[in-house]
Amino acid sequence: MIAVPERDREAMREALAEARAALATADVPVGAVVLDARGRIIGRGRNERERLADPTAHAEIVALREAAAASGEWQLSGCTLVVTLEPCVMCAGAILSARIPRVVFGAWDEKAGAAGSVLDVLRDRSLPIRVGEVVGGVLADESAALLAAFFRDRR
């Protein structure tokens, strides 16, 4: 088992706080943060599809937009994206477009994941851009429990 740096766990706790905040708007509890090269949070996001009536308002995309605005650059080449759920295909495309070199995620998404479970868009060798490092399973139990409770309560 690979040791997870404390910085990644701390960032995941921040992403989990964002995920919990999504519950207030009946959005699926997924949260994300973007860290700059020095480890400072420059972008935060949570799912806001319900609140904004926007199908692209996934946590990763919201966080990437905020990070790009904060840095004044669309290329986030020195940054790390930390998200509570394995990115989907749409978010994987946005991550690649932003030139994010490192992605850390919590729970695996066995239905729609695009970072190694169903697909691996982030490291697909047929694409001209790839993420250098993908770390999955950081605080996965907590991330998965939050999602499971949300969907159990909706049934």
Contacts of 123 (CB under 8 A, 6+ apart): 116, 130, 131, 134
What integer pLDDT is reported at residue 153 of this predicted model?
Answer: 87
The mean pLDDT value for 71-81 works out to 97
* pTM, entire model: 0.96
Average pLDDT, the chain: 96
Extract the annotated binding site. 58, 88, 91
Residue 13 has pLDDT above 80, yes or no: yes
Question: What per-residue confidence (pLDDT) applies to 26?
Answer: 95
Residue type, 35: L
Binned at pLDDT 50, 70 and 90, residue 155 comes out as confident
Confidence (pLDDT) at 2: 66
Confidence tier at 39 by pLDDT (50, 70, 90): very high
C-alpha distances out from residue 87 to 77, 112, 130, 154, Å: 18, 8, 14, 22
Mean pLDDT in residue range 14-28: 97
The DSSP element (H or E) to which 34 belongs, if any, is strand 31-35
pLDDT score recorded for residue 1: 54
Residue that is written with structure tokens 């972008």 in the block: 43
Rounded-to-integer distance, Cα 5 and Cα 36, Å: 16
Q: How confident is the model at residue 154 (pLDDT cuts 50, 70, 90)?
A: confident
Active-site annotation, residues: 60
Q: Give the model's pLDDT for residue 3.
A: 79
What digits encode the pLDDT tens for the residues 83-105?
999 999 999 999 999 999 999 99
**Integer Cα distance of 151 and 145 in angstroms:** 10
All domains of the chain in start order, with CATH:
6-153 (3.40.140.10)
Question: Known binding site for Zn(2+): residues?
Answer: 58, 88, 91
